Amino acid sequence: MPASDLDLLEQAAREAGEIALRYWRNDPQSWEKDAGAGPVSEADLAVNAHLEQFLRAARPHYGWLSEESADDPSRLDAEHCFIIDPIDGTRAFLSGQEGFSHSLAISTGNRISAAVVHLPAREQTYTACQDGPALLNGQVINPVEHDIRNARVLTSKPSLDPAFWRGVVPPVRREFRPSLAWRLCLVAEGQFHAALSTRAAWEWDIAAGNLIAERAGCLATEISGRPMRFNTARALTEGLVVAPPHLHNQLIAALGQMWSHEFGPGAKL
């Protein structure tokens, strides 16, 4: 049995990657979820089934929250809870791209205490625990500070709608990656300067990346600047801003008050 929660998550993530790669670029069956919630594939379900069996057997008293499992309200009473996205970036996975990940986290109370984001096709594993550094393949990572002007920001096109900003949209350079969990990790390692979503985000998409970014040295908050809380009843956060402190504060100051659910909660941006 792994000695720590982080060791457990790492082992589970690597096993998830082995399962996913059996389906990747092998024409897995897929279909659209209800209510425009995006695609799901037989690979998502296979990974989810393995993770639930493996992790819950190891920690039977932990709660369980996963994108591909029916929600069990009893998780709200658990001191610890697994928060899992079996495959983050399913569209990328189905199109044969490398930028999909497995996002595995454990909450203690309403904060994340252990986190792994694993990209099996890229052989990259990001890890963090609540009292240690953020690592990529065992090496310490840190973000890169930058002024808001010309900052490289990972976000979707709708986030740069003027309605979300006070005055003019700041002159950032928008870029995109398919996995939201990976986006937070890319900021944590300094490949990009910030990640931003003006729409509500599901906890399973961001829980692991949130801790990795924080332990690397970023601020990771809701779009209002409030701290993120996890294992909540709705399992949603009100958008996100992830960046080193100076740029984070600039982005929060530049954002307006227009964020709301009318823009569609839970989108994979």
Find the helix packing angle between 180-188 and 203-216, rounded to 10°: 0
- Rounded to the nearest 10 degrees, how much is the dihedral formed by the CA atoms of 218, 109, 236, 171? -10
The answer on whether 10 is annotated among ligand-binding residues is no
The answer on whether 203 is annotated among ligand-binding residues is no
Phi and psi at 39, nearest 5°, equal -85, 155
The answer on whether 18 is annotated among ligand-binding residues is no
Q: What is the DSSP string of 152-184?
A: EEE--GGGG-GGGBSSSPP--EEE--S-HHHHH
The answer on whether 205 is annotated among ligand-binding residues is yes
Q: What is the DSSP string of 8-53?
A: HHHHHHHHHHHHHHHHTTS---EEEPGGG--EEEHHHHHHHHHHHH
The answer on whether 161 is annotated among ligand-binding residues is no
* Cα 203–chain centre separation: 7
Residue ranges of the binding site:
67, 85, 87-88, 205
Residue ranges of the binding site for Mg(2+):
67, 85, 87-88, 205
